[in-house]
Amino acid sequence: MGTKKANMAIDPSFVVGKIDPRIYGSFIEHLGRAVYGGVYEPDHASATKEGFRQDVLDLVKELNVPIVRYPGGNMVSGYNWEDGVGPLKNRPKKLELAWRVLEPNYVGTNEFATWAKQANAEVMMAVNLGTRGVDAARNLLEYCNHPEGSYYSDLRISHGYKQPHAIKTWCLGNEMDGPWQIGHKTAEEYGRLANETAKAMRLVDPSIELVACGSSNVDMPTFPEWEATTLAHTYEEVDYISLHQYYGNPTDDSASYLAKTLEMDRFIETVIATCDYIKAKKRSKKTMYLSFDEWNVWYHSREADSKMEPWSVAPPQLEDVYNFEDALLVGSMLMSFLKRADRVKMACLAQLVNVIAPIMTENGGPAWRQTIFYPYMHVSVFGRGVSLQPVVKTPYYDTKAYTDVPQLDTAVVYNEESEQLTIFGLNRHLEDDLTVTIDIRGFESYQIKEHIVLENNDVKAVNTKDDDRVKPHTNGNAKVDQGKVTAHFSSASWHVIRLEKRS
């Protein structure tokens, strides 16, 4: 164990791109206890008059989540949206085939739109292109967005929702490249259907933005040809292509685990290159943006999920209990988006409550923050503005799975309007500390406002409802002297250095 040195230089003219706040989005699927027992529990002591858990809403607001994807996920490929609207007594209980549970439909489109409004978030709505298609998609859009005077808008009004939900962002299906997906399609089949669905939806509401399905993960055998074929059909009709990726540490190799964002970086760069190839091939002036609308750590709960009995309502599923090293990786994944803010415009941490989530609840009991809550909150709250490209000189090291891993991972956000500069940093190394020197002479009169640190001697430490073992402190030692910031980054630690201009 020793102390290495890293250097950075930051200048306000080195702009990557404007950060779309929607990169701090999340996801709620009708899966496990995400909805029932998560956001919705009418009998809970904190329940609002609509049945939503206020304690969960408070934590979601703490995260400042700008957009939430709904209702799936794998679930949407077999979902009839009509089952979730209208009087509760008339809603059918259905076999939900993706996760093999019983769906009571107590929460549907209107209830979720109401919850999102209370959470200060927009809705990213997904349509079913598995068992359904153009007709159901255009009808749902009419139901949600058309003011009045048509069949589906008047139906919404009859259900008690006079004002349209005005949902801007729509996903054209989910993971349609996956053989596990209900209604799985080839790239040609999906591309044709997505394009025709997009055209019909734009006739209903030309103001919407549309997301086409990219590959379900980087290891799919059809990646990236799936993206190329899909975009060859849809390029001029959609605004985004989606990316999905989850990481795990099943071999218990922490050094390699904390370097997995090197793979994420390559994934993003490959999708960008594929988009630009289709742009060139079509001689288009349009730039395709990326929606990384499923991402997280997911591996802790797989053994428990394999033992679940089917056809119950809201059983515990995918309830990963996250540890400290998971939080470090989540911070690194968020920085990967910031470093490509010119192209990655939306992202959704999957998911928000109970199901591979930063927020956990006990039915009838408390809600609490998992370890990954903190880096997600830090970047969402402090990462608003433009992303800057720092010049970084860092030590490198090797692991069992990777060579030339940068010890310092970092991203920089500048908010000119509020005159604030935020440096996010991760020391990936499990043993070596870092002394970090940052040249900020381009930011005259900026001084340290706060240095937040998330660190723990045990990379496997977890939080429970009774014990917050992993939580940040503000005792970081960053200081400014003659235009340079110096700070100590202990081994395996997450840092947020906030600076502001002093008059």
Q: Which residues pair with 246 in a beta bridge?
A: 296
Cis bond upstream, residue 365 (ω within 30): no
Quick check: is 294 catalytic? yes
The whole-angstrom separation of Cα 209 and Cα 291 is 11
| CA-wise closest residue to 494 among 456, 444, 446, 448 | 456
What's the Cα-to-Cα distance from 67 to each of 99, 130, 383, 448, rounded to whole Å? 24, 24, 15, 31
| Distance in angstroms (rounded) separating the CA atoms of residues 397 and 404 | 5
Residue 90 gets which letter from DSSP?
G
Catalytic entry in 29, 103, 142, 175:
175
Q: Is 269 a catalytic residue?
A: no
What 8-state DSSP symbol labels residue 308? P
Question: In the numeric block, which tokens belong to residue 298?
Answer: 């997911």
The secondary element (H helix, E strand) that includes residue 478 is: none
Distance in angstroms (rounded) separating the CA atoms of residues 342 and 297: 24
Give 189's DSSP letter.
Answer: H
- Choose among 333, 214, 347, 221: nearest CA to 274: 214
What is the strand order of the sheet 408-415 is part of? Answer: 15-18, 386-388, 408-415, 420-427, 493-501, 446-454
| CB-based contact 376:334 (threshold 8 Å) | yes
Question: Which burial class, exposed, middle or buried, applies to 145 when counting CB atoms under 10 A from its CB (0-12, 13-18, 19+)?
Answer: buried
* Of 29, 82, 103, 294, catalytic: 294
Q: What are the φ/ψ torsions at residue 496 (nearest 5 degrees)?
A: -130, 110
Given a contact cutoff of 8 angstroms between Cβ atoms, the answer to whether 354 and 33 are in contact is: yes
Looking at residue 274, the DSSP 8-state letter turns out to be H
d(CA 364, CA 380): 29
44 burial (CB, 10 Å; 0-12 / 13-18 / 19+) is: buried
In whole angstroms, give the CA distance from residue 232 to residue 279.
9
Structure tokens belonging to residue 109? 């489109």
d(CA 128, CA 73): 10
Tokens standing for residue 262: 């090197």
- Among 99, 93, 92, 102, residue whose Cα is nearest residue 77: 99
> Three-state DSSP class for 486?
strand
The amino acid that residue 285 corresponds to is K
Active site amino acids = 175, 294
